[in-house]
Amino acid sequence: MLCGRSNALPCSLPDVQNRISAGSRALICFTTLGVSLISHTEMAGRSRIARRRGTSYHPRRLVVPGDVGPVLQGCNLTINGNAVTNQLDLFEDSRDVMLRNDVLTALEQRNADAGREALQRLAAEYPDDALVPTLETLVCVLEVPVHEHFTTHTALRDTCEAWCSPCVPAARRAFGDAAGVAWCLPLWRAVARAASQLPFHQEMPEWHAAPLWMRAAEWTAACESIKRIGSWRRIPIPLAWMAETVYRLQGLDPAWPLLAELAWLSPRKLGALMQTLGDSSLLALRRLFDANFDGDGTTDDLAWFPAWAMTERPGLAALLRGSEPSTHTLPEQGMRIMLELLTLEREGRRHDLVERRKDLRSLHPGLFEAYIRTR
């Protein structure tokens, strides 16, 4: 069907968009009577006829009135009198998009050879394309996979900083945030496997398999990796890893004992973990704590958070009883007293209750005030 023919069948703009999004290579002709499509095959036929005649055939640029939506994004705008018109030649204006999509398709399939070949075509025809450096980063990552086990923490660090760190923003730029993060997951799995034989290093704690498994969203593997760290429950960093891992696998309730132990060892890490988890009920409780707890007004107040939480939600006692004895700090003692008080209240042992309330007041007047206000 040719542009300008009076018997061209009109079609609606959504129909045009659907055909284009399905990959149809077509020329759109907007007339006062409607919209027509010229197929790629028909256009090629016209070109062959022109060559036989010793002439050349060039598709006309099309003037499209008004705003026709995402189909024309990226085309040039020209002024025609007082009207703004969009000019589009799908053969010329979509060539770079097609070449970019070839690279992205190869990357999605994790085909390094096809990705390199498609990227070379794109760079050859469009050397100034803004996405070329980003795609180069991703293709290089596929071309040099990690297979061998790391023997030193320094080697793991150097590989992650040179290989993984640039990959994440590049993938997010190429595929979008969610899809970019998902594209990187197999890379983190590969690095985690390669780091699995490295022990936990106090001076380089982040260069361990556990946080890499967590980056890969492999929570069970992360849990097993953390368990192999000696005394992990007494070290704030792996304790925070385990608390997050348990939360991702089982939810907030089973994570409460670990959150309490983390509060006693490192209130700051607890505060950071709360933000990482993003749990609405936990964050709401944190806001109440910040507004009402009579402490020093610093992040260190979070050491008292587990004990205070039971003044607002006594039902947490059943969960917090699962916390293991830690370093017997004052905040830990405060939580143990709170657990006893709730038991004594339930059993109606008033004399013992009065004595333990005195102990709580002596330990921390602010915690005692929060407790007694709810009685």
Alpha helices by DSSP H, 251-316: 252-265, 267-277, 280-292, 305-312
Identify the segments of the chain with pLDDT beneath 70: 1-93
SS3 state of residue 199: coil
Q: What is the pLDDT of residue 92?
A: 53
Q: What is the pLDDT of residue 314?
A: 96
CB 342 within 8 A of CB 334: no
In whole angstroms, give the CA distance from residue 265 to residue 326: 8
Each domain of the chain, given as residue ranges in start order, spans: 13-91, 94-144, 147-229, 247-375
Residue with tokens 């005649």: 53
Category of 235 on φ-ψ map: left (φ > 0), alpha (ψ -120 to 50) or beta? beta
Please give the share of the chain, as a percent, with pLDDT higher than 70.
Answer: 75
Q: What is the pLDDT of residue 38?
A: 39
What is the DSSP secondary structure assignment for residue 8, as one 8-state letter? P
For residue 199, the tally of other CB atoms under 10 A from its CB is 10
Residue 249's φ and ψ, nearest 5 degrees, are -85, -40
pTM beyond 0.75, yes or no: no
Q: What is the pLDDT of residue 78?
A: 36
Residue 369's φ and ψ, nearest 5 degrees, are -60, -40
Q: What is the pLDDT of residue 94?
A: 85
Q: What is the pLDDT of residue 163?
A: 85
